[in-house]
């Protein structure tokens, strides 16, 4: 086999591998988008799906684990309210914190709400920071609450 032919085959193989890596990337994005859409739809309902907290819990877990801030916030809400599973403030806090750190305004506000009522002194001390973050993000309830304190 000639050197030129071997180089062509290797280039073709590299091209195929790169295109497959791109396909996998797009597939993950697509699955993450589907999980995020189903998370929201099963939590709040839409034209195609009725509210189903067990389904919402499953889809929100998928979405949250892929790093989607909306999915993390809704999953936090499900844990906070005990919808679709046991009420678990520690797990609600975990997911709200992940969303809040990504700049999700509702996640920031809910982290404030959890922290301000926490028996943990360190969390209570962090509450104002998260209220300020949510206010800075323009979250309406946070802005109103901040204005009441002024």
The Cβ of residue 31 has, within 10 Å, a number of other Cβ atoms equal to: 13
> 3 falls in which pLDDT band (50, 70, 90)?
low
102 three-class SS: coil
**Is 90 exceeded by the pLDDT of residue 106?**
yes
Question: Rounded CA gap, 22 and 18, in Å?
Answer: 6
The Cβ of residue 89 has, within 10 Å, a number of other Cβ atoms equal to: 15
- Dump pLDDT digits (tens) for 24-46: 444 446 888 999 999 999 999 99
Do 96 and 115 touch, CB atoms closer than 8 A? no
- Dump pLDDT digits (tens) for 54-86: 999 999 999 999 999 999 999 999 999 999 989
Q: Is 48 exposed, middle or buried (0-12, 13-18, 19+ CB in 10 A)?
A: exposed
Mean pLDDT to the nearest integer, 88-110: 98
Contacting residues for 148 by C-beta, under 8 A, at least 6 apart: none
Mean pLDDT to the nearest integer, 112-129: 94
Please report which helix (H) or strand (E) contains residue 90, including its range.
helix 89-101
């Amino acid at each position: 086999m000639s050197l030129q032919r071997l180089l062509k085959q290797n280039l073709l193989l590299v091209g195929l591998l790169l295109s497959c890596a791109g396909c996998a990337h797009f597939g993950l994005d697509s699955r993450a988008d589907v999980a995020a859409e189903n998370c929201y739809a099963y939590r709040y309902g839409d034209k195609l799906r009725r509210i189903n907290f067990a389904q919402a819990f499953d889809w929100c877990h998928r979405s949250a684990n892929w790093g989607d801030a909306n999915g993390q916030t809704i999953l936090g809400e499900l844990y906070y309210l005990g919808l679709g599973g046991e009420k678990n403030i520690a797990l609600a806090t975990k997911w709200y914190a992940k969303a809040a750190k990504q700049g999700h305004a509702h996640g920031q506000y809910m982290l404030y709400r959890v922290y301000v009522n926490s028996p943990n002194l360190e969390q209570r001390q962090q509450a104002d920071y998260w209220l300020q973050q949510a206010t800075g993000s323009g979250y309406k309830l946070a802005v109103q609450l901040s204005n009441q304190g002024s």
